[in-house]
Structure 1
């Protein structure tokens, strides 16, 4: 049954994609009528004719059967908007996305090795006292791709003019998108590698190699090989995360890839195009996961089981006090900006002060409508954080239940789905909006908590004190109240609290794409997207929400590092470094 779980969950996900035209709350016939036949009245006869022409007059089984049958023949359907076959455009977009992801992955690998190089060099010479990637890599890893893309476009393209801000087709047009997607991914991989290397260098073989006079270069190579198998699954998750990040980056830079095509289809309710894009993005993520797993087996060679190869156990390295101080300082700064902003009106429009620069009246300037940026930033903090807390509470309950039920296959599938991809599907069904964005994030953010719950539950069940209580005649209720719940719930609750900023960043990314809160709501992601066209004239309107998002990401990783340091590096973790779902 365990081996049937993953195919069954994958089949369920594919079925949900195939049923999108039937699940949507809008009438597909009306969408097609408005797009193709705007001059025809929406009479029942006309709508019935459109449904019969497109095969939408049947029930869900017919809709799913027609879609699956078309897939078997290479037919991805016809666009509801243009009436043209979907396959040629989506195939062309796939080629663009693969090129962008290849460039981003190259940037990620180079940066990961550069961040881990000092630890690799010092460890090979037996001089390792602390890791070097540290907080910088952690903060870079927590930056959403859309935020980095906006900052790079504002600074390097608009302000300095070094690279083109839009378009696709030339080599220089690949640079900024690849950096925007590759830097967070590379920082994540570099941090994971930097954390794994001390454990490899602490093993007996490394001491024996150094004592025998083996050259440091060879020792470093063996340490990399020893650390790589554990990192390859994370590399697969990074590639999956790139598929989600590509949606925002392709949209911002006007790149005709799968991400921007899927977003345009979701906003236009062109569900056949959305189905095809989501299907290809899912298959791309699945292929990345399988390749990573195959690479891990190849590196391990004949040693293929966890029992044959012991897990790396990292030595406890010192945590700098500056990490805790920085986390506290950022929290105070964010709270101060929020309080001051809440005292101002975020919806007041002053046409005479459009795009005004920072002043005493408007400390952070105004936007294109003359609204105070500080006010919108403060109210956006309250809106985003409160929504993130509510979503985190829901995901905590879902994670505890799913982890207790050992829903491993479902957890792995949700763990590998980017929140943006879930947001596209929800927008295709219910349309864009804050509730849909919250539902999309909750649909994937529970997975790390479920994995954490499952691991702790297994650990507690195997504990000696539980066996002793059973031998003394304790009942199931007593074991649950006194042993299992106290051992499982508090660590998972702490994990959920630490993930609140990551959930907020995921919500902001959907707002940036237009899938979350709608105008005139003051929401950070929407502020960023609304002000991007004015980045050259009023950079403060872009840099203010960008800085707030960067502070939130930095606060998340620094707080996590501080808590982990105080607990001596112990404590369970859910998804180790996955960026796809809900952030780092």
Structure 2
């Protein structure tokens, strides 16, 4: 009976500690100017992506929704393109593709990189040497080269571009995870757990993984901006989004010959990309400060 009571008290204490930690994190994030601005920009992007069918005044794929190359006005606040499509509606729906690109690409690279780095760092020996040498070989190539090679194999298209960007970033996440695991393995608490006879599952999931995840959250948030830029670059080259998808990089590419006649066709997609990248970078900085007490003190 006493044992059951003490177990319940321990569970309550852990729950209270976790709730207090979460409150401290959100307070620190909202107190950070960069975190607050980044949270606002990313929140606005998510809102636009979700509410696009309600906010958008026209179908983003509908041709002749207005006059061709009509400048910004009360009826078309961001003007129209060379097919008479409303640029504002296409920007709103492009936010959906942007979030999809970021989540899928970073999800692929973060998951695979976490597994590779965790296995390599924990196992040591020849397994670590083989895996990390493979990662080093891939890391010697730039991400865009790996992405282009993947697209040459998979074919062009937005889905394949997201997969290619995710694969190209795996070496970076694997190296970061490997470094953090090695640091944690050298700390006294981990050595004490090994000496106490903790099993492999407990060492990995209880001691290593919780200490690796905060770092990956920060670089994953920053990685979204990199994925968005990479996808926009591939779409600009005609290797990502294909017509008539309202992807911002493709909108830039399709309007480059009309920059003198209809500059709004490039200005608004370019601003959308710039603000999105800035928002995720600021949010990543804010999360880093909130998770690191030393950063908060400075």
- CA separation in 2, counterparts of 1:469 and 1:460? 12
Change in Cα spacing, 1:336 to 1:461, as seen in structure 2 (3 Å) is closer
User: What TM-score results when the alignment is normalised by the length of structure 1?
Assistant: 0.40
- CA separation in 2, counterparts of 1:569 and 1:552? 28
The yes-or-no answer on 1:550 pairing with 2:288 is no
Please identify which structure carries the higher helix content.
Answer: 2
- Select the structure with the greater relative contact order (CA < 8 A; seq sep ≥ 6): 2
- CA separation in 2, counterparts of 1:341 and 1:477? 44
Quote the residue 1:61 is aligned against: none
SS at match of 1:353: coil
Quote the residue 2:102 is aligned against: 388
The yes-or-no answer on 1:513 pairing with 2:254 is no
Question: Could you tell me how far 1:490 is from its partner in structure 2?
Answer: 4.0
SS at match of 1:363: coil
Quote the residue 1:354 is aligned against: 68
Aligned residues, how many?
A: 252
Change in Cα spacing, 1:374 to 1:416, as seen in structure 2 (3 Å) is farther
The yes-or-no answer on 1:323 pairing with 2:34 is yes
Which residues of structure 2 form unaligned runs of 5+?
1-30, 121-127
Pick from 424, 437, 444: which aligns with 2:168? 444
SS at match of 1:516: coil
- CA separation in 2, counterparts of 1:487 and 1:547? 36
Supply the RMSD in Å over aligned alpha carbons. Answer: 2.4
Quote the residue 1:410 is aligned against: 134
SS at match of 2:169: helix
Change in Cα spacing, 1:363 to 1:337, as seen in structure 2 (3 Å) is farther
Change in Cα spacing, 1:335 to 1:472, as seen in structure 2 (3 Å) is closer
Quote the residue 1:432 is aligned against: 156
Whether contact under 8 Å (1:411, 1:447) holds in the other structure is: yes
Question: Could you tell me how far 1:503 is from its partner in structure 2?
Answer: 1.2
Question: Could you tell me how far 1:569 is from its partner in structure 2?
Answer: 5.5
Question: Could you tell me how far 1:418 is from its partner in structure 2?
Answer: 3.0
- CA separation in 1, counterparts of 2:267 and 2:112? 36
Question: Could you tell me how far 1:338 is from its partner in structure 2?
Answer: 4.2
Which residues of structure 1 form unaligned runs of 5+?
1-319, 572-584
SS at match of 2:41: helix
User: What TM-score results when the alignment is normalised by the length of structure 2?
Assistant: 0.76
- CA separation in 2, counterparts of 1:569 and 1:417? 34
Whether contact under 8 Å (2:108, 2:166) holds in the other structure is: yes
- CA separation in 2, counterparts of 1:321 and 1:490? 17
Quote the residue 1:453 is aligned against: 177
The yes-or-no answer on 1:502 pairing with 2:213 is no
Quote the residue 1:214 is aligned against: none
- CA separation in 2, counterparts of 1:487 and 1:340? 36
